[in-house]
Structure 1
Amino acid sequence: MTASKRILIVEDEPAIADTLIYVLNSSGYRTEHVGLLQTALVRLQSTEFSLVILDVGLPDGNGFDLCRQLRRFSDIPVIFLTAHGDEIDRIVGLEIGADDYITKPFSPREVATRVGVILRRLGAPNPTPAPNSPFDLDSQAGRIRYCGQLLDLTRYEFLLLKLFIEHPERIFSREQLLERIWQDPGDVFDRTVDTHIKTLRAKLRLAAADQDPIRTHRGLGYSLQSR
């Protein structure tokens, strides 16, 4: 059901905003539109939204800056809209916590489809955790405890560890992790996975210094020990 899903559109071009409002409303979502970053920040701090569609270039600032501020208090999914297709811009957007990145001009139906994919992925039911697992996963709250300690995770660290917990002992290649965690894996380097695994391991060691539950399988990928 999409009826309860509220989408915030942050876009200063009325024609583009009207098109997005129409297609998303037609798809069953509720929408709210603002044209300035500061207005968007106020709305995001005071109202519950399911997803944000955020233009990178706005009259009062850069959408990347809003995303950075947003990630300090919320894990809400973010889709960037931009007139620039430069690879570095796409990489920056994804690295700071965006879930997808769409270059103008775009198909409004494609945007609606991507919105649906992201919301279905985040709302999917969780498999039963392995018995006696040291991990306690709370998907709805976006929290994971390890050996009784709450982990301070970034969005992508959370999604990586969540995937591992849901599939203990399964080996995931870098390509599979890119496909499952990053919405547009073609714009992300393999080393991005390695970097996130490294920081994730460091945080796990802070909770249990004598444990290293993430296994590296040379030439294959990574897996999580079931206990």
Structure 2
Amino acid sequence: MDASILIAEDDADIRDLLRLYLEGEGFQVLEAGDGATALRIAREQSPSMAILDIMMPEMNGFELTRALRKYSNIPILILSAKSQDNDKILGLNLGADDYIAKPFNPVEIVARVKAQLRRAERTGGSVLTVRDLSLDTASFQLTKNGQPILLTPMEYKILAMLMRSPGRIFTKIQLYEGAIGTYFEGDDNTMMVHISKLREKIEDDPKNPRHIITVRGLGYKIEK
């Protein structure tokens, strides 16, 4: 593979472990021991994806995610010892695509990296239109009534799935596997956060959504 993965982690042992597994799968690995260095490397070398620890010197993972999202839409995986829901939600809200708590299985990290990159590589030239929403799958741009709406990569993947099949009900697992590629136990909350953020961006009243509808006990659909 030609893809390069940026690892921002202040623990050298963890960086070494991730590098071993990722290079074993053919990825090029870029490393940084603090957030500021990671941001500089990202600007200079444009990695295909980033794996970011939360607790780092200079600039933490949340701050780094926010900085990267100002100019880049590369997939971001948050890796942290913190497993509380509020930390996970904050990372996803800032634009991260996925979140794994330590201790982790490096094989799972590799699987998630591959899945994110597969989804990021999907291209097409069609424009999906559902009511007042238009999603250009070539430029990854969403507009509502002609006004642009910025999406994170994960939000784009979820919305594209829904808009390709308006009226169809997707379970959380189907959405997650369609956007990421592999479902892992405990990923339900991650999908709920992404749906919530999408509603904040596309709904006039996110508490009373008219586009992305919850079908109780089943999942979600986008109204035709």
Q: CA–CA distance in 1 between the matches of 2:188 and 2:212?
A: 25
Q: Structure 1 stretches of 5 or more lacking a match?
A: 204-211
1:85 to 83, 86, 89: 83
Cα offset, 1:198, TM superposition: 4.5
Q: Counterparts of 1:85 and 1:47 in 2: how far apart (Å)?
A: 30
1:110-149, Cα deviation, whole Å (9 max, x unpaired): 21111011111232355966699876544353213455x3
Structure 2 counterpart of 1:223: 222
1:153 to 150, 154, 159: 150
Q: 1:109 to 1:86 in 2, by over 3 A?
A: same
User: What one-letter code is carried by the residue in structure 2 that aligns with 1:20?
Assistant: L
Partner of 1:124: 122
Code of the aligned partner of 1:35: G
Could you tell me which runs of 5 or more consecutive residues in structure 2 were left unpaired when the two chains were aligned: none
Cα distance in 2 between the residues matched to 1:114 and 1:127: 26
Give the match for residue 189 of structure 2. Answer: 187
Q: Distance in 2 between matches of 1:131 and 1:141?
A: 14
CA change 1:121–1:133 in 2 (3 A) is: same
Change (3 A) 1:189 1:78: closer
Matches of 1:84 and 1:58, distance apart in 2? 13
TM-aligned CA deviation for residue 193 of structure 1: 2.6
Higher deviation after alignment, 158-167 or 60-69: 158-167
8 Å contact from structure 1 (residues 8, 52) kept in 2: yes
Is 1:11 the counterpart of 2:9? The answer is yes
| Residue aligning to 2:20 | 22
1:44, CA displacement in angstroms?
1.8
**Equivalent-residue separation in structure 2 for 1:66 and 1:118 (angstroms):** 19
1:196 aligned residue: 198
Going from structure 1 to structure 2, the CA distance change for 1:173 and 1:44 (only over 3 Å counts) comes to same
Deviates more, 1:130-139 or 1:94-103: 130-139
Is contact 1:10–1:36 with CA below 8 Å preserved after alignment? yes
Question: What is the RMSD computed on CA atoms of the aligned residues?
Answer: 3.3
* Deviation of the 1:58 alpha carbon: 0.9
**Deviation (angstroms), 1:200:** 0.9
- Give, in angstroms, the shift of residue 173 of structure 1: 5.0
What TM-score results when the alignment is normalised by the length of structure 1? Answer: 0.77
The 10-residue stretch of structure 1 (83-92 or 109-118) with the greater mean CA deviation from structure 2: 83-92
- Give the letter aligned to residue 202 of structure 1: D
Percentage identity across aligned positions? Answer: 30
Structure-2 residue corresponding to 1:214: 211
The answer to which of 83-92 and 24-33 deviates more is 83-92
Secondary structure (helix, strand or coil) at the match of 1:52 reads: strand
| TM-score when normalising by structure 2 | 0.77
Specify the structure having the higher radius of gyration (Cα).
Answer: 1
Aligned length: 214
